[in-house]
Structure 1
Amino acid sequence: MIRRRRGILLLSGISISIFFLLHEKISSNISLSPSNEQIVQMHEEFETADKSLEGMKEAKKESSLEEEIPHIKKEPINRKLKNSKQQTLPRHQNEEMKENINKVKNERLTRKATPKKNILTQKSQLFQADPENDAKTAARFQKRVKTMKSRCPAWKHSPFKKNWVVNKNFLINYPRRLLICAVPKAGSTSWHMTIWAMRRIQAGLDPNTTYYTYEDTVENHHTAEKLSTNKGKEMIYYNEGDDDMYLNPPTAKARRLLLTRHPFARMISGWHQKFLPYSSYADLMFKRYPTLKSYVREKDPNHRMSWKDFAEFVADTGTRPQSLDYHFTPTVEICKPCDYAYTYILKAESVDIDESWLLRRLNITDIDVGRKGVPPGGSIVNANPSDNIKKHMSQLKSSVRRKLYDVYKEDFLTFGYTFDFRTLNSGGFD
């Protein structure tokens, strides 16, 4: 009994001390009529105290998160949790990670509680013909093909190679005669999902009964390798009128699509994603390109490598394509536009206004997997890509900007993108 009473007295004494300390602190900071800022400050202090009391509960919750989070192939969140035991995160990053984990948990609970949405639903309004807008869209695509041809001397004689050469960047669905050159960081994920949905339907499977995984991406890249030589030739063979956007319906026996994006916007987006604090891909790049680590000079709390340091690395080494990772290799090196008869060039910046017309031309309006492109808020390059490009390029020396342009010069000229070195404005998004 005596020990119990002593314990109660001790807790009471601590409680009284805490009360007077808080009272003294609050009294010194606020008047009888506190301002809004002071009220907010008080609320934050009490909220912090509450959080400290709940510390044990939060720790317990975090320890069981690995069982709650679905398995993600590329950069699993459960891997991030394991790493977090070895490294101490800044407070704001730790809170951000908890928030992302909670989002994943909530999404999984929502999927369990509600039926899955049909990803192949017909968007009747989206795919309705609109003569006025369709004519404008056709003109944009025709202009893009014309610009590409101007950079390919082979068009003056024999348009393209007649031999089928496998390109690992091709996504192919032969039954639908569709070939896509999937450029990373140019809206390629949604087209990967499109090819995947086609394969499942053709195999008698329902895409709605499962989720797209990393293995499906790998399988997509094997579609070109599995194609016979004769079928490969058929997919790349150019017929007069294949790229005439005004023919309706189109006469092309096979449809060839190239995805592209402003070179600087694509580079910025790739850097931002691949060098996040817990990106395992950054480790892969540091291992694969030993000189990359020697360029890490500035500290960036939000990235493993700062934008300025990475830009200097690309500027110094980018003219040798083998020195750049796939996500930063120029599009002309990935897709070889002068070796294959591409009939459509889709720019990520204008995908929202091009989508309806293009899907009708490709005859795939029955496949709807939510094309990403670059919608407002959906990428580091937001509603106005020019503003974000200017923001990042303004941080670099003029000599570095010139070198970067030289690295991606053929992308600029082949796909009609622009960059003004005086104003730092970008263009060619349509």
Structure 2
Amino acid sequence: MATQRAARIDVECALRQEPQPVPAGRAEQVAQVLPKGVLFATAAPGTATGQARVPDTEWALTSAWSHEGQIAAGVAAVYYGAGHDRLVRPMIFADEFGYGPSDLPALWRHFNAPYPPHENRLLDQLLSQGIDVVLLGFGVRHTHIQANAGVAAACIRRAIAERTGSAPLIVGGVGMGGLITRYALAEMENRGEDHQTMTYLSYDTPHNGAWIPLILQQLVYFSESLAPAEPGQAELIRSPAAQQLLWAWVESGHYSGPVATASPLRTAFLADLRRVGWFPVKPRKLGVANGAADGTGRNVPPDEPVFEWNALGGAVGASVRTQPDRGTSRLVGGMRAVPMWAGKSYTSDVASFDGAPGGRIPAYGMIADELGAPIASRYRSACFVPSVSAVALQYDPVEWTVDLYTDITALSPAQSQLDDYQCDSDNSEHGKVTATLAEWILRQLAK
């Protein structure tokens, strides 16, 4: 098997003659038809409607350490469990990858939304068990994981200081929040600090990396280059958090080169994780995955057209295909804004992540909708956190020699770096609360 270190993308310029002068007003016309804003950070917690419970108290937090000269900040919303008027049995649960500051009321609504078949609510059930829920948010979600891990460490210290009694902590988070708290606990152990945490819980966390289609990464850079006036998706893809989180990353719309080793920030983060012990040693390590366990992916075949978009009489447009399954110089799409730019993108030795078992986000659908391009429902979503990553199977997070379609149910538990885990019954939306995952968590935390 070829190694993923050889995985790369190549952009071919499709303009075969010297570009003509840009027509007057063309740049402004292009800017009007291109997508704007942050579209596919994740299928972000916060889509649930309804009233969020008012927290019993809030903590303003400053990072316990600096990283790259920066001191991160955050806030925690504290909800006391049944019968409590102060902190007794804290569960710290950290927010997800995204742009800008956390929205903790939205995080509450998402994780306390009723789930079928009985319309139970996860956070309400935790509170009824006497668990005090501490939702941890960050002032800048898209900054370095190590910086926000300092905020998590500060939250752990505050919980220990505020707690009545000696009940051990539960610490974890959703998506990247699970990576942030994983690093925080390991770094505290590395420094000889007692974090007093018995249970670590990750919720669809990309322990070995996440996936956003490379052609979409290039498309948002392309949009930014032609309409740079306002912040948008490219800022999130370029952010330190994205570079550290994504297995495959590109730096621009015309980048050609390796994708698994493109960012030194990811390489440095993995080295930092190894320095602090990779995972914390003291807690029982639990994880849930929104992806299926039996190796069954979604019906999203590799190397197929997703959508075609044209505007301004065809002068501007894009074609997008699902990620091919490895191969050499396989077309994934192209972009044009004639006479300024026209190019096609090809990948080599990149696996077909889009349809793999895992927590999914509607990445293709959100871009197509913003462009007004028709798209079949089966192609709207792509895998974001492969199941093999969410359950922390033991494989190299750069080489990725693991089969994306591994039947996890057939593996020995020792092949995971978690002590126990639960996959969903189907490939659900990343971060979604389902009966399978919620009831497993409740049973585990009741032990």
- TM over 0.5, yes or no? no
Q: Which has the higher strand share?
A: 2
TM-score, normalising length: structure 1: 0.28
Question: Could you say which structure has the higher helix fraction?
Answer: 1
